[in-house]
């Protein structure tokens, strides 16, 4: 693990309480333990087109729940990969250039060319810790697979993220949030369940993204399979209806999880809604 980074003094508020605001696509504002984390910043408007590489674009079908100028002060950004529906032109132009961005190494090279000099690249299972007073948050890179071979080499690498928030490092009160990133269900995810038996919240990227008929993110069936494997206490589906390349509707996942008898409580959070929880 790299040396911990110390963040400025937090705003006032109860550090033992937290919430997750769903902005849209895979964009969340997570507040817990005095930290505010932004994920996969995507603030394009309805009708705008996200750049997906090789000249491929996808039209946004929805509006983000808040604009980038309405965000609270952000301590760090967690980015699964550098695609236009996860880090768009709005984010590139308007995010604070000094905010730390934790992502995979391929994305770091792009971000630094865009002026984000505090970007931190993690390979699978590598960690970065941030400290503030008696609290800390550790981001660990999780395995993810955005496409089957041989197409996989044509797409940017992607990572999932495990956020471990120690609200009071002396009292060891921890909340664990797993963000899948844009991944398919694959064998390496089994290692997550072996290493992490107590995931409080799983933010699961769905949508069944397809380009040229190839599945690139989990559809309903794979999403249920991932929850069976990881067994989080709570799951929040995201990344399901915002772009034309998303082909697996959320209703398909609702039906699949209702029939699956999961141990996980699936919570459906609409854009602009907030899921609230207390630390463990």
pLDDT per residue rounded down to tens, the chain (280 residues): 778 888 887 655 566 678 999 999 999 999 998 899 999 999 999 999 998 876 789 999 999 999 999 999 999 999 999 999 999 999 999 999 999 999 999 999 999 999 999 999 999 999 999 998 888 999 999 999 987 666 656 677 999 999 999 876 555 567 999 999 999 999 999 999 999 989 999 999 999 999 888 899 999 999 999 999 999 999 999 999 999 999 999 999 999 999 998 999 999 999 999 999 865 5
Residue 51: predicted pLDDT: 87
pTM value?
Answer: 0.94
Domain range summary for the chain, segments of one domain joined by + = 16-269
Q: Are 166 and 272 in contact (CB under 8 A)?
A: no
Residue 154: predicted pLDDT: 63
Residue 263: predicted pLDDT: 95
User: Which one, of 132, 118, 166, 129, lies nearest residue 2 by Cα?
Assistant: 129
SS3 per residue for 204-241: EECCCEEECCEECCCCHHHHHHHHHHHCCCEEEEECCC
DSSP state of 246: B
Residue 19: predicted pLDDT: 96
Residue 172: predicted pLDDT: 56
Q: Are 266 and 235 in contact (CB under 8 A)?
A: yes
- Give, in order, the Cα–Cα distances in Å from 114 to each of 82, 86, 105: 12, 15, 15
3-class secondary structure, 200:
coil
Residue 33: predicted pLDDT: 86
Longest dimension (CA), the chain: 52
Q: Which residues, including other chains, have CB under 8 Å from residue 267's CB and lie 6 or more apart?
A: 234, 235, 236, 275
Q: Count other Cβ atoms within 10 Å, centred on residue 9.
A: 8
Q: Do β-strands 17-24 and 210-211 pair in parallel, antiparallel, or remain unpaired?
A: unpaired
Q: Do β-strands 35-39 and 27-32 pair in parallel, antiparallel, or remain unpaired?
A: antiparallel
Residue 17: predicted pLDDT: 77
Q: In CATH, what number does 16-269 get?
A: 3.60.15.10
Residue 16: predicted pLDDT: 65
Residue 214: predicted pLDDT: 87
DSSP state of 145: -
Q: Count other Cβ atoms within 10 Å, centred on residue 278.
A: 12
DSSP result, 4-59: PEEPPPPPSS-TTEEEEEEEETTEEEEEETTEEEEES---PPTT-EEEEETTEEEE
Q: Tokens 């309480």, residue?
A: 17
Q: Do β-strands 119-121 and 101-103 pair in parallel, antiparallel, or remain unpaired?
A: parallel
Residue 34: predicted pLDDT: 87
* CB-facing half-sphere around the CA of 226: CA atoms within 13 A: 35
């Amino acid at each position: 693990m790299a040396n911990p980074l110390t963040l400025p003094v937090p705003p006032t508020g109860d550090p033992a309480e937290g919430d997750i605001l769903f902005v849209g696509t895979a964009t969340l504002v997570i507040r817990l333990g005095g930290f505010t984390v932004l994920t996969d910043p995507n603030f394009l408007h309805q009708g705008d087109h996200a750049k997906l590489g090789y000249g491929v674009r996808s039209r946004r079908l929805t509006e983000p729940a808040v604009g980038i100028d309405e965000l609270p002060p952000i301590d760090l950004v967690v980015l699964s990969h550098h695609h236009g529906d996860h880090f768009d032109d709005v984010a590139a132009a308007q995010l604070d250039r000094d905010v730390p961005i934790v992502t995979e190494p391929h994305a770091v090279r792009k971000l630094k060319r865009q002026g984000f000099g505090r970007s931190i690249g993690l390979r699978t299972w590598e960690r970065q810790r941030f400290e503030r007073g008696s609290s800390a948050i550790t981001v660990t890179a999780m395995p993810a697979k955005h496409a089957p071979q041989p197409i996989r080499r044509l797409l940017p690498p992607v990572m999932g993220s495990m956020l471990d928030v120690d609200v009071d490092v002396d009292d060891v009160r921890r909340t664990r949030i797993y963000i899948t990133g844009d991944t398919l269900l694959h064998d390496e995810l089994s290692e997550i369940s072996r290493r992490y038996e107590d995931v409080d919240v799983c933010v699961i990227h769905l949508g069944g993204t397809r380009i040229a008929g190839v599945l690139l993110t989990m559809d309903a069936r794979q999403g249920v399979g991932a929850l069976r494997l990881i067994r989080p206490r709570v799951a929040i589906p995201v990344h399901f209806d915002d772009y034309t390349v998303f082909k697996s509707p959320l209703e398909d996942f609702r039906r699949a999880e209702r029939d699956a008898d999961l141990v996980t409580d699936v919570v459906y959070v609409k854009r602009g809604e907030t899921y609230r929880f207390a630390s463990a």
